[in-house]
Amino acid sequence: MEWSDVGVVLGTRRLGEADALVELMTRDHGRHLGAVKGGRSKSRVAMLQIGNRLDVVWRARLDEHMGSYVVEPADARAAALMADPLALNGIQTLAAHLRLLPERDPHPDLFADLELLLDRFDHPRLVGELMVRFELAVIEALGFGLDLSECALTGEGADTADLAWVSPKTGRAAGRAAGAPWADRLLPLPRFLAAVEAPAGWGRVATPELRAGLDLTRHFFQRHVWEARGIVPPATRDGFLAALARALEAEDRDAR
């Protein structure tokens, strides 16, 4: 068996004295592990850092075998990511989310979203929005997607219902007026997620809306994934949120 692909390094582990077990998020083959011969050498260690993009060839005798990678660097961005607390916590959080998916289950859209995020950490407000959308996509891929297409109470479509709430149990949206009597039991739906189409001007979402979006995704991770699987939420997500809050506070202060 053999295939070629492009992948982002999610993590590495020692394999014997000289080799490394490398975990990649690949474009066409999903989250996939493989051995890299000589992966612990000085030249390979730098290449196999989390966040780097590699061109890879995977080979194994049978498809179900772990197999091995032949790797070549495509984008060595790990050093820049690790130098920034927002980016470092962000990439580790993204890796933790992707590990929730079954290994070798293709998710080309999530791979594209991952690449977009990794190239935008110098724009904190945009990264906050992209992280919310990435987390919603992971939740959907796990089978627990939110339904923001219409008001669950009236049946009105998102283009007319002024969606403003989400049921914490069902993940279905509710319109502002229809959901008002139960507002204390519902989760707020940020306007940038309620929009029928992505708003023009990415990266302009207000800080309170970003916080609400990240609170929303945390709730559904906790309800359907972390608690159900007995998983401790990734501490790096809290680190990402703290670094994002500092960056947004600085932006808001400079804008005054």
pLDDT reported for residue 7: 98
Q: How far apart are CA 169 and CA 219, in angstroms?
A: 10
Name every residue whose Cβ is closer than 8 Å to that of residue 118 and which is 6 or more positions away in sequence.
8, 51, 77, 81, 91, 94
CA atoms within 13 A on the CB side of 100: 27
Out of 3.30.70.20, 2.40.50.140, 1.20.140.10, 3.40.50.1010, select the CATH number for domain 2-76: 2.40.50.140
pLDDT reported for residue 252: 82
pLDDT reported for residue 171: 97
28 closest CA partner among 9, 4, 12: 4
DSSP, collapsed to helix, strand or coil, labels residue 6 as strand
Under-70 pLDDT residues of the chain? 195-202
- Residue 182: alpha-carbon gap to chain centroid: 31
- Which run of H or of E encompasses 68? strand 68-75
Question: pTM of the predicted model, to two decimals?
Answer: 0.94
Name every residue whose Cβ is closer than 8 Å to that of residue 202 and which is 6 or more positions away in sequence.
126, 129
pLDDT reported for residue 64: 86
Does residue 238 contact residue 222 with C-beta atoms inside 8 Å? no
Q: How far apart are CA 205 and CA 211, in angstroms?
A: 10
pLDDT reported for residue 196: 55
pLDDT reported for residue 197: 54
- Point out which residues pair with 55 in neighbouring strands: 6, 72
Domain ranges in the chain are 2-76, 98-148+189-255
Token pair for 61: 């005798």
